[in-house]
Amino acid sequence: MLRDHTDRRTFPSFQLRWEMISLESLGVGLHLVPPTEQYRESFVRGFHEFRSERLPWWFGGDLEIVEQDFATFVARKLSDANRRADGFVPKTHRWAVAEDQFVGRISIHHELNDALRLEGGHIGYDTVPSCRGRGVATEMLRQILPVARGLGLKEVLLTCNDTNAASIRVIEANGGSLRETKALDPNRPPKRYYWISLT
């Protein structure tokens, strides 16, 4: 379910037509898929949007090969679900697709370690900036919860900044219960700790 938060009446007619097509196309059945080469073009477009807003986790690591070798990038994302000797916590990735376009990403850590208990939790997500405010994240989280249950998790931790109003709404709309708010660093907003029961 995707919602339209745009007041279409404020658009001049040519823009109104563009918005209606774009919003209509997003509204048709968002679904989650494992990383795949099929959505290379829209993923790369989304990747550039994420980088433009300078979210730190869209830099470094395996992301550097997105443009040069997408097949290897996808293979690495899929293999993140495997247990490794170096202590990396296995992670399942899903991409959100609406009307054949990549619109967001969500992932689940199969378990918590001390670092994730403090920041990161089990589940993390991002919506492509140009697709925000249309219910993408709320729907991604709703659809990933059965996947988490399938991994044997009984409840999941989601951490988010006390200032991240959109993420707070996404988590609460999916039954998140606020257990704690903690200041980790005086120069950063306090962190909220939400749990969602899967039983």
Ligand X SMILES: CC(C)(COP(=O)(O)OP(=O)(O)OC[C@H]1O[C@@H](n2cnc3c(N)ncnc32)[C@H](O)[C@@H]1OP(=O)(O)O)[C@@H](O)C(=O)NCCC(=O)NCCS
For binding to ligand X (CB under 6 A), which residues are involved? 5, 55, 125-127, 132-138, 160, 164-167, 169-170, 173
Nearer to ligand X, 137 or 153 (CB): 137
What is the smallest separation between the CB atom of 123 and ligand X, expressed in angstroms?
9
Nearer to ligand X, 156 or 160 (CB): 160
What is the smallest separation between the CB atom of 163 and ligand X, expressed in angstroms?
10
Strands (E), the chain: 31-33, 91-98, 101-109, 123-127, 155-161, 177-182, 191-197
Nearer to ligand X, 22 or 164 (CB): 164
The whole-angstrom separation of Cα 142 and Cα 147 is 10
What is the smallest separation between the CB atom of 156 and ligand X, expressed in angstroms?
13
What is the smallest separation between the CB atom of 134 and ligand X, expressed in angstroms?
5
